[in-house]
Amino acid sequence: MAKRIREALPLLPFFALVTIFLIVPTVTVIFSAFFVDGAFSLSRIAALFSETALSALWKSVLLSASTAIIGALLGAVLAWLIVSSPPSSILRRAVISLCSVLAQFGGVALAFAFLATIGLNGVLTIWVQQHFGWNLAGSGWLYSLSGLILVYTYFQIPLMVIVFVPALEGLREQWREAAVSLGASTFQYWRQVAVPLLTPAFLGSVLLLFANAFAAYATAAALVSQGSPIVPLLIRAALTSEVVLGQSGFAYALALEMIVIVAIVMVAYNLLVRRTARWLQ
Amino acid sequence: MRKTTLGGKAFRAVLFVAFGLFFLFPLYAMADFSTRNLIAGGRTLQAWKNLVADEALYAAIVISLLLAVFTVVLMLLILVPTMIWVRLRAPWARGLVEFLCLLPLTIPALVIVVGLRNVYLWVTYFLGESALTLTFVYVVLVLPFAYRAIDAALSAIDLKTLSEAARSLGAGWATTIGRVVVPNIWSGILSAAFISIAVVLGEYTIASLSGYETLQVQIVLIGKSDGPTSVAASLATLVFGFVLLLILALVTRGKRRDTAGADPAVAAPTTATQPGVPT
Amino acid sequence: MKRTRLFGIAALTTSALLCAGLTACAPPEKRSEGEQTQSGRSAAEATSADDFGGMDGLVDAAKKEGELNVIALPPDWANYGALIKAFSDKYGIKVNSAQPDAASQDEINAAKQQKGKSTAPDVFDLGQSVALANTAMFAPYKVATFNDIPAAYTDPDGKWVNDYGGYMSIGFDSTKVPPVADINDLLKPEYNGKVALNGDPTQAGAAFSGVLMVALSQGGSVEDIAPGVEFFRKLKEAGNFLPVDPTPATIESGQTPVVIDWNYLNAARTAKLPSWQVFVPSNAIVAGYYYQAINSDAPHPAAARLWQEFLYSDEGQNLYAAGGVRPVRADGMLRAGTIDKAVIDHIPVIDGPVSVPTPDQTEKATTYLTDNWAKAIG
């Protein structure tokens, strides 16, 4: 026992840092969602079922699900394009490096990139206006949910590529050869060998993209300056304005809602990753 | 390899071009927009000059760069010895350390900042009001990426033999870690450092909701009144991150023969395979 | 292996709970006492210039502090640029102007987040709803000219005092959109994606009054802001509403061709952009005053109080008037003839019934907005 403690001592700085700056805030959120001024109360949780909160939740789910599916589909296509290129081609390495940068390219910079492109004074907007007379920026759709869907897709696709390329690479060429030698057509190979193998990886990636979009804040915050259509922006409003719902501490309930959803999705993702690893690692 | 038909090749080329346009056009648009004079038309470099000329923006750039450096230093100081110790002396803690390092991926930064207020009341009480106190939270945020990078590097060397050899020759722990182990996991450390810098420079959520004026917060504030300058600053951050990645790839290419094959250009992306990319 | 896992989790949980308990209690307050004044009270508790031994004592104490933090004061808003410069030149006090584009709520947030720091705002200039919701944060102080100000525009203890007022208007760029003659014009297709409101009505005073003005034009009243919210919902559906905060930059670049904002702000924009015109609907005139207050945790309490004295002096009120607003002491100054002849024309004169919501009406409207605004504009 003493030996254990001696072994654990040098790990103390690490544990202290993580505890104070990660565990404690999380515990505070969970705790404060249920305890108002020290007394147990479900009032903050009840506020989660108000119309504003439910509407924001629905829009968040819509945003995350749609960008997850679109990102997954398009990302899978791009991943297939990459994998079917010669392994040492420059194009392949360049695209993978670019994807790794773009997957990190979330946040504020992305919002401004799209403002510069299809915002009211955007490069593409003006070009299209001059050549075709259409008004791309139109009703300011960029600053609401539809705009967010487009912008989120921009970092969902590279993320999908990074996650899915290893799975595609795990599809060994020998299996294809074995299937062909047994008389399978290309379609049959895909339908009965490749797709069932790739499905857990694909579904897992969809879940990953969902959690990624659901928890994202900076891009939406930079793009949407008025209104709070999604849950993260509602948290911003709750943190910066006490007037929301006349309730203090609404942010805690919203944050709890966020942890719960993301945690469930991530658990499901990890289960699927383990299934994928069985064959494709 | 299957033979690729001409039609097949054309199809793939079209797809590549389509994706290329979608991803690269906004970057071009940023460059274009940031050099545009919105009122009078024509081109101007005023937005880029503002990066140095605008006091508030310049101060924010300096603060963010300092934050990045502090975060990397603190992260390395805490994480590298911890991971080495876990491998050598406390393997029972390995699961726990890995779990804690990957936990920030599941807990969104937004949730952390909501619960962070009380903690930071204490931090500012002891350490003052500077934005540099964000270092501690940022180290937590970069843990998943840094852990993966350093873990991969540590797995590639024979840590046990190296450290035992060093210790048997009379080296203390500090020398062992600093002069024996670290030079061997240099690519992993660099990878962790560069990813951390990219994360810190791009972090907005915690800084803005805690009321500190870092680079990204300042960019958003300026964006309300001066579009081109904020776009210029965003593009500069992006280019900086890209250049770092390039340097990393170049520097570690020479070291690749030492490590057991983990291609850093792929190792870097795989550390970004999880959510919690602080967006 | 299992036992160590359990041990680890148990240790973690107990330490987390301990820490959670610890951090649940806030650290001891670091109160900055500020200068001790002649009356023995600290500067932070002074309620009038007498506590400093007269104006000279106040000026000395403020000069000793040397700095003043203001927030959310754009230079072309009610001539604040000139006011800040005049104050700074007269007393040699450095004025730090933070976040000029912030809304009223942002001022309160900055004060809360930076409590105890030397960068916290010293004074506030707030819209009605935000001001009245946060009076606990204000320090009572009566300026030298307090008795010149009609009682309706002051808090009895001096916690807040109205500083200037104006009327809600619609500004538009006549080169980009057809002239606006009626609020209902805004629903027309020519204004697609062009109509902006100055902020979020639950956070910014200008936006709140803007929605109220629209409500009045749609048959609502100061008691009933619902028709205003309904109009914006229709505006959003038609695709005409642009959820972007208008700033001088967005107006000049043509991003926001139609802006619902205070008349003095729109007037200032005409000075920069000659094609910018201002329209005040005669059937829906909403007047609004802004509220000046001192942060009770101000890092520079004496300078904050000197700033108030300056704003409500003849010099300060005249500088306000030059910005196209109606300074709160306008009536008294007009009678006494102390108003600057050159700016008399700038002071807005209004014909038609004017609505100024009372604090209760404001609260009711704010509650309604909180529940319904997000739904209306999605």
Number of independent structural domains in chain B: 1
Query: In the block, which residue shows the tokens 């108002």?
Result: A36
Contact yes or no for A21 and B119 at CB 8 A = yes
pLDDT per residue as tens digits for the range C34-60: 444 455 567 788 888 888 888 888 999
User: Residue A120 is nearest to which of C240, C255, C371, comparing CB atoms?
Assistant: C255
Confidence at residue C259, expressed as pLDDT on a 0 to 100 scale: 94
For residues B229 and C43, which has the higher predicted lDDT (pLDDT)?
B229
Q: Which of C8, C27, C252 sits opposite B122 (nearest CB)?
A: C27
Q: Which residue in C204, C210, C340 sits closest to C266, CA to CA?
A: C210
Q: Is A37 on the interface with B (CB under 8 A)?
A: no
Radius of gyration of chain C from Cα atoms? 23
Range of the domain at B110: 28-256
Residue type, position C360, single letter: D
Neighbours of chain C (3+ CB pairs under 8 A): A, B
- Rounded to the nearest integer, the mean pLDDT of chain A is 85
Q: What is the pLDDT of residue B274?
A: 40
Cβ C16–A27 below 8 Å, yes or no?
yes
Q: Is the pLDDT of residue B88 over 80?
A: yes
DSSP state of C178: P
Pairing verdict, β C276-279 and C326-327 = unpaired
Length of chain C: 378
Helix A107-118 vs helix B227-255: angle between axes, to the nearest 10 degrees? 130
Count residue pairs from B and C with Cβ separation < 8 A: 51
* pLDDT confidence of residue B72: 95
pLDDT at C25 over 70: no
Among A71, A79, A114, CA closest to A210: A71
A232 close to B208: Cβ distance less than 8 angstroms? no
Residue A73: give its domain's CATH number: 1.10.3720.10
Q: What torsion, rounded to 10 degrees, do the Cα atoms A173, A176, A182, A183 define? A: -140
Least Cα distance to A230 among A65, A2, A118 occurs for A65
Domain count, chain A: 2
Let me know whether A149 and A36 are in one domain. Answer: no
Asked whether residue B18 is domain-assigned, the answer is: no
Structure tokens at B32: 């274009």
Q: What is the mean pLDDT of residues A101-120?
A: 82
Residue of C201, C190, C262 lying closest to C233 (CA atoms): C201
Looking at residue C311, what is its pLDDT? 93
pLDDT band at A7; cut points 50, 70, 90 = confident
pLDDT digits (tens, 9 = 90+) for C261-289: 998 888 888 888 888 998 888 888 888 88
Q: How far apart are CA C82 and CA C303, in angstroms?
A: 18
Q: Distance of CA B190 to CAs B139, B208, B241, B252, Å?
A: 15, 28, 14, 8
User: Mean per-residue pLDDT for B68-92?
Assistant: 92
**Distance of residue A156 Cα from the nearest chain B Cα, in angstroms:** 10
pLDDT at B2 over 70: no
- Comparing C-alpha atoms, which of C251, C329, C311, C295 is closest to residue C71? C295
**Chain B partners within 8 Å of A121 (Cβ):** 33, 38, 227
Length of chain B: 279
Question: In the Cβ-directed half-sphere of C307, how many Cα atoms lie within 13 Å?
Answer: 31
User: How many whole angstroms separate alpha carbon A280 and alpha carbon A273?
Assistant: 10
For range A184-207, the mean pLDDT? 87
Who among C239, C367, C375 is closest to A52 (CB)? C375
Residues of B in contact with A235 (CB under 8 A): 110, 114
Is the ipTM higher than 0.90? The answer is no
The neighbour count for residue A28, using CB atoms within 10 Å, is: 25
pLDDT of amino acid B279: 41
CATH number of the domain at B135, please: 1.10.3720.10
C276-279 vs C160-173, strand pairing mode: antiparallel
Among partner residues B242, B268, B279, which is closest to A217 by beta-carbon distance?
Answer: B279
pLDDT at C121 exceeding the cut of 90: yes
Joined together, the tokens standing for residue B273 give 């395979």
Residue of A nearest to C13 (CA): A23
Q: Do B204 and A101 touch (CB under 8 A)?
A: no
pLDDT higher than threshold 50 for residue A245: no
Q: Does A203 touch chain B (CB under 8 A)?
A: no
The whole-number pLDDT of residue A139 equals: 66
Q: Is the pLDDT of residue B278 over 50?
A: no
The answer to whether residues C352 and C284 touch, using CB atoms and an 8 Å cutoff, is no
> Residue C258: what pLDDT?
93
**Residues A10 and A69 occupy one common structural domain:** no
Q: Is pLDDT of B266 > 60?
A: no
Give the A window 99-118 contacts with B, CB below 8 Å: 99-110, 112-117
Q: pLDDT band at C214, cuts 50/70/90? A: very high
Residue B137 located in a structural domain: yes
B265: pLDDT strictly greater than 60: no
- The answer to whether A262 and A29 have CB atoms below 8 angstroms apart is no
Give the number of other CB atoms < 10 A from CB of residue C90.
Answer: 12
Chain C nearest-CA distance from B226, in A, is 6
Give the model's pLDDT for residue C153. 86
Size of interface A-C (CB pairs under 8 A): 106
- Disruptive mutation site among A7, A80, A112, A118 for chain B (greatest number of B CBs within 10 Å): A112
C4 contact B CB<8A:
yes
From CA A77, how far away is CA A93, in angstroms rounded?
17
Strand pairing partners for C258?
C172, C195
On the question of pLDDT at A52 being above 50, the answer is: yes
Instruction: Average the pLDDT over B150-174 and give the result.
Output: 89
Contact of A82 with chain B, judged by CB distance below 8 Å, is answered with no
Residue of C1, C2, C3, C4 for testing the chain B interface, max B β-carbons within 10 Å: C4
Residues A7, A116, single domain; the answer is no
Amino acid C103 reads A
Q: Are residues A76 and A193 in the same domain?
A: yes
Burial category of A100 from C-beta neighbours within 10 Å (exposed 0-12, middle 13-18, buried 19 and up): buried
Confidence of residue A256 (pLDDT cuts 50, 70, 90): very high
- Mean pLDDT of the B205-217 span: 88
Phi, psi torsion values for B208, nearest 5 degrees:
-70, -40
Residues of A in Cβ contact (< 8 Å) with B216: 107-108, 218
Q: pLDDT confidence of B255, banded at 50, 70, 90?
A: low
pLDDT value for C118:
83
Over the stretch A21-40, which tens digit does the pLDDT of each residue have? 999 999 988 888 888 777 88
Residue A244 has pLDDT above 50, yes or no: no
Show the CA angle centred on residue C294, arms to residues C293 and C298, nearest 5°. 155
State whether C254 and A226 contact (CB < 8 Å). no
pLDDT, mean of residues B15-33: 90
Instruction: Indicate whether B270 belongs to any domain.
Output: no
Range in A114-123, B263-272, C241-250 with the lowest mean pLDDT: B263-272
**What domain range is A26 assigned to?**
1-41
Summarize pLDDT for C178-196 with one digit per residue, the tens.
998 889 989 998 888 889 9
Residue with the larger pLDDT of the pair C352 and A156? A156
B219, A112 Cβ separation under 8 angstroms: yes
DSSP codes of every residue in A236-280: HHHHH-TTGGG-TTHHHHHHHHHHHHHHHHHHHHHHHHHHHHHHH
* Alpha helix segments (H runs only) across chain A: 2-8, 12-18, 24-34, 43-47, 51-83, 90-104, 107-118, 123-132, 145-169, 173-181, 186-189, 195-215, 218-223, 231-240, 250-280
Answer yes or no: do B108 and A112 touch at CB < 8 A. no
Helix or strand (DSSP H, E) at C173: strand C160-173
Q: Which CATH superfamily is domain C166-287+350-377 in?
A: Periplasmic binding protein-like II (3.40.190.10)
Instruction: Give the residue among C183, C346, C171 at the shortest CA–CA distance from C258.
Output: C171
Contact between C290 and C165 (Cβ < 8 Å): yes
Q: Rounded to two decimals, what is the model's pTM? A: 0.83
- B240 is a domain residue: yes
Q: Does B106 touch chain C (CB under 8 A)?
A: no
Mean pLDDT of chain B: 83
pLDDT of A176 higher than 90: no
pLDDT band at B139 (very low <50, low <70, confident <90, very high): very high
d(CA B124, CA C330): 45
Question: Within this chain, do residues A241 and A167 fall inside the same structural domain, yes or no?
Answer: yes
Taken as a whole, chain A contains a residue count of 281
pLDDT band for C113, please (50, 70, 90 cuts): confident
Count the Cβ atoms, other than its own, within 10 Å of residue A185.
10
- Report residue A262's pLDDT band, with 50, 70 and 90 as the boundaries: very high
Q: Does C30 touch chain A (CB under 8 A)?
A: no
- CA closest to B41 among chain C residues: C253
- For chain C, what percent of residues have pLDDT higher than 70? 87
Average pLDDT across chain C, whole number:
83
Contact call for residues C309 and C144 (beta carbons, < 8 A)? yes
**Greater model confidence, B138 or A93:** B138
Residues B93-102: what's their mean pLDDT?
90
Strand partners, C289: C165
C97 interface with B at CB cutoff 8 Å: no
Residue where the block lists tokens 């629905």: A58
Q: Is residue B271 part of a domain?
A: no
> What contacts B170, CB < 8 A, 6 or more positions away?
none
Asked if the C-beta of B115 comes within 8 angstroms of chain C's C-beta atoms, the answer is no
Q: What are the boundaries of each domain within chain C?
A: 52-165+288-344, 166-287+350-377
Q: What pLDDT, on a 0 to 100 scale, did the predictor assign at position C176?
A: 86
Q: Do B211 and C114 touch (CB under 8 A)?
A: yes
Domains C52-165+288-344 and C166-287+350-377 belong to one CATH topology:
yes
C47: helix, coil or strand?
A: coil
Q: What is the pLDDT of residue B275?
A: 37
Nearest CA in chain A to B32: A123
Contact call for residues B141 and B203 (beta carbons, < 8 A): yes
- Does residue A257 share a domain with residue A125? yes
Query: Which region among A264-278, B167-181, B253-267, C102-116 has the lowest average model confidence (pLDDT)?
Result: B253-267
Tell me how far CA of residue C209 lies from CA of A148, B234, C194, C228, in angstroms: 29, 35, 19, 10
CB B146, CB B192: distance < 8 Å? yes
B202 contacts in A (CB within 8 Å)?
Answer: 104-109, 218
Long-range contact pairs involving B92-100 (C-beta distance under 8 Å, separation at least 24)? B92/A4, B92/A7, B92/C1, B92/C4, B93/A7, B93/A8, B93/A11, B93/C4, B93/C8, B95/C5, B96/C5, B96/C8, B97/A11, B97/A14, B98/B147, B98/B151, B100/A14, B100/A15, B100/A18, B100/A22, B100/B143
The dihedral through the CA atoms of C90, C93, C98, C103 has a sign that is negative
Do A62 and A122 lie in one domain? The reply is yes
- Is-contact B259 B194, C-beta < 8 A? no
CATH 1.10.260.40 at C52-165+288-344, yes or no: no
